[in-house]
Amino acid sequence: MIIVLKPNVKEERKRQLIDWLKGMNLGVHISNGEFQTVLGLIGDTTQVDIELIDSLDIVDSVKRVTETFKSSNRKFHPEDTVIEVGDVKIGGGNFCLIAGPCSVETEEQIVTVAKAVKAAGANLFRGGAFKPRTSPYDFQGLGARGIELLKIAREETGLPFVTEIMNISDLPLFEDVDVLQVGARNTQNYDLLKELGRIDKPILLKRGLAGTLKELLMSAEYIMSNGNEKVILCERGIRTYSDYMRNTLDISAVPMLHELSHLPVIVDPSHATGMARMVPPMAMAATACGADGIMIEVHNDPIHALCDGAQSMTPEDYTALVKRIKAVREVIA
Ligand code: PEP
Ligand code: MN
């Protein structure tokens, strides 16, 4: 249920209403917008007398929310959420570029790529230390050592970084990580999501391999309902009958997620297509339809990359692409 208050309601009256609602064992999500305050009620609202609330002089309107996702729902929080990572802002008109290799391989590799993507204009860099590989015989990532190398690259560049967490027991290793990624294979690992709801760090949540938008939002809900509201949604392509592409990039997910939710939505065209040459057109399409950021895999030596070399752009090609992405941003502004 959402309660929209009239403009300029006194704090004390607001507080009385909130306390009364909380007294009914309801969670109250408060969204203080520029023009109006919206109270989102979470929990069993069947006992709430909607007419009684509607009759209060401080209440503008009351509506039942039928969607099962609450905290991530735009009805609860009409204004865009802006997530801050150091000086970088994501969402609410703030566009961010994230780039880096699929996996951290060596200090030289990650520092070189982080410097190159910074020079190209990236705001954050990325690199996997714990890798979810389809085959157990493939490179599984450097683990804890990989995170240490990411920190070295952060020192060298000043850019914050994103890296994937696969297992709750690894959480202590992520204490000094800027943004934790939940990969497509773990989007519905609810125990992991609940635990990430208890920390105070941005979570980049990818859409599951064959996940619906509702499932993605319910996964965000697992994080948010446990207290962490800093969730960035990421469309990374879904499994369809597409034959020549690794996945199908669902571009329409961007405006639909923006309609349904206040959370920032970024797009990863690298995992969506699996081919470096397909990344530029998809990155520009994603930018044009209003994505809040683009995450791209970049490697200094794609042919010898230990993971996802075929979809990795060279720093030179990435630099050229950033210019075109920025030009698209200008056009849609
Ligand atoms: C990745 O970002 O390197 C990755 C493994 O992505 P996804 O979970 O989208 O496959
Ligand atoms: Mn990858």
The residues pairing with 295 across neighbouring beta strands, listed in sequence order, are: 98
pTM: 0.95
Report the CATH number that the domain containing residue 310 is assigned in CATH. Answer: 3.20.20.70
Q: Which ligand is nearest to the CA of 246?
A: 1
| Cα 100 to middle of ligand 2, angstroms | 10
Q: Would the pLDDT of 199 be above 90?
A: yes
Choice from 206, 246, 295 to test ligand 1 binding pocket (greatest atom count within 8 A of CB): 206
Q: Would the pLDDT of 285 be above 90?
A: yes
Same domain? For 95 and 54 the reply is: no
Same domain? For 163 and 34 the reply is: no
**Atom 4 (ligand 1): residue with closest C-alpha?**
183
| Domain carrying residue 251 | 83-332
Percentage of residues of the chain with pLDDT beyond 70: 100
Same domain? For 100 and 243 the reply is: yes
- Where does ligand 1 bind, in terms of residues with CB under 6 Å? 102, 128, 132, 183-185, 206, 236, 271
* Domains of the chain: total: 2
- In angstroms, the Cα distances linking 226 to 174, 199, 206, 216, 278 are 18, 9, 18, 16, 38
What pLDDT is recorded for position 15?
A: 94
Least confident of 6-15, 221-230, 234-243: 6-15
Percentage of residues of the chain with pLDDT beyond 90: 92
Least confident of 52-66, 148-162, 262-276: 52-66
Query: How much is the average pLDDT of 218-223?
Result: 98
What pLDDT is recorded for position 32?
A: 87
- SS3 breakdown of the chain: % helix, strand, coil, rounded to 5? 40, 20, 40
| Cα 291 to middle of ligand 2, angstroms | 20
> What are 19-63's pLDDT values in tens digits?
999 999 999 999 888 878 999 998 888 888 999 999 999 999 999
Query: How much is the average pLDDT of 81-86?
Result: 97
Same domain? For 21 and 95 the reply is: no
Residue 187's Cβ-side half-sphere holds a number of Cα atoms within 13 Å equal to 25
